């Protein structure tokens, strides 16, 4: 049976991707901080010897004006969102080589557009984007395909709700004002359904022939 490891699998998009991959016939290995897993320092004893798919979905977001971005905030966001991708891919590399597998990084539209009060998050996602392209070039010789998907703000996830709360606290707005401001920046004027993103990801990963030519590519999902 094909195996897939999904980080951030306890909730939100990671949980939905794990469900889609299970439906596609994968044995899914969930990996999440809620269960004591750390993408910044993965326990190799918890990793399989052969791995067809690694989905790097774990992420954090901390909103603050530039003057309030301290080392602790910056390091946490950069370490989880960018360093976490590198460490997980490194740790899973022997297993991915054994299966000539695939790495999918969940990046963000924040990698493509500046946002107020989001220096650490945007920088981390920009790093994740270029890291995806770098890994794709470096690992293709081992038969490993690396690409990314960049969703816009997702509807009803824990991170989205937390972003709304942080915007309210940082900007001094009401929740309605914060949501109206964020929706105005989305082309469709609405948040993206995470189930739709997960279904799209599940389709791509269900067969390597569907994503092999995407090596090094980033797919924006909503703007």
Residue 53: inside a domain: yes
Q: How far apart are CA 170 and CA 87, in angstroms?
A: 32
Q: What does DSSP say about strands 27-31 and 218-221: parallel, antiparallel, or unpaired?
A: unpaired
Residue 163: inside a domain: no
pLDDT at 3 over 80: yes
Please report, for the domain that includes residue 206, its CATH number.
3.40.50.720
Residue span of the structural domain in which 23 resides: 3-154+193-221
Please choose, from the candidates 27, 26, 41, 33, the residue with its C-alpha nearest in 3D space to the C-alpha of residue 12.
Answer: 33
- For the chain, the first-to-last Cα distance in angstroms comes to 36
Residue 164: inside a domain: no
pLDDT band of 161, cuts 50, 70, 90? confident
Work out the average pLDDT over 9-18. Answer: 97
203 DSSP 8-state letter: H
- Print the SS3 string covering 121-162: HHHHHHHHHHHHHHHHHHHHHHCCEEEEEEECCECCCHHHHH
Report the number of distinct structural domains present in the chain: 1
173-213 per-position pLDDT tens digit: 888 887 787 777 777 878 889 999 999 999 999 999 999 99
Q: How far apart are CA 156 and CA 98, in angstroms?
A: 37
Residue 32: inside a domain: yes
Residue 89: inside a domain: yes
Residue 165: inside a domain: no
Work out the average pLDDT over 112-116. Answer: 89
Query: 């703007």: which residue's tokens?
Result: 223
Say if pTM beats, i.e. exceeds, 0.85.
Answer: yes
Judge contact between 102 and 54, C-beta under 8 A. Answer: yes
205-215 per-position pLDDT tens digit: 999 999 999 99
Residue 45: inside a domain: yes
pLDDT band of 27, cuts 50, 70, 90? very high
Residue 115 half-sphere exposure, CB side, CA atoms within 13 Å?
30
Residue 166: inside a domain: no
For position 164, what pLDDT does the model report? 79
Q: Rounded to 5 degrees, what are φ and ψ at 109?
A: -65, -15
For the chain, strand residue ranges (E) read: 3-7, 27-31, 53-56, 102-106, 145-151, 218-221
């Amino acid at each position: 049976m094909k195996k897939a490891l999904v980080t951030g699998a306890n909730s939100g998009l990671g949980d939905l991707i794990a469900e889609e991959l299970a439906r596609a016939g994968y044995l899914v290995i969930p990996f999440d901080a809620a269960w004591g897993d750390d993408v910044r320092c993965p326990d190799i004893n918890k990793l399989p010897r052969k791995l067809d798919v690694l989905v790097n979905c774990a992420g954090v977001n901390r909103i603050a004006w530039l003057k309030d971005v301290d080392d602790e905030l910056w390091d946490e966001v950069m370490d989880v969102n960018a360093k976490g991708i590198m460490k997980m891919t490194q740790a899973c590399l022997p297993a991915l080589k054994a299966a000539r597998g695939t790495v999918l990084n969940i990046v963000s539209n924040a990698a493509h557009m500046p946002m107020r009060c989001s220096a650490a998050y945007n920088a981390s996602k920009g790093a994740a984007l270029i890291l995806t392209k770098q890994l794709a070039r470096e690992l293709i010789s081992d038969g490993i395909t690396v690409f990314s998907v960049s969703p816009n703000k997702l509807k009803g996830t824990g991170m989205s709700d937390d972003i709304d709360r942080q915007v309210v606290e940082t900007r001094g707005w009401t929740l309605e004002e914060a949501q109206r401001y964020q929706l105005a920046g989305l082309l469709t004027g609405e948040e993206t359904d995470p189930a739709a993103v997960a279904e799209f990801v599940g389709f791509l990963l269900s067969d390597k022939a569907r994503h092999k030519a995407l090596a090094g590519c980033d797919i924006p999902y909503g703007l």
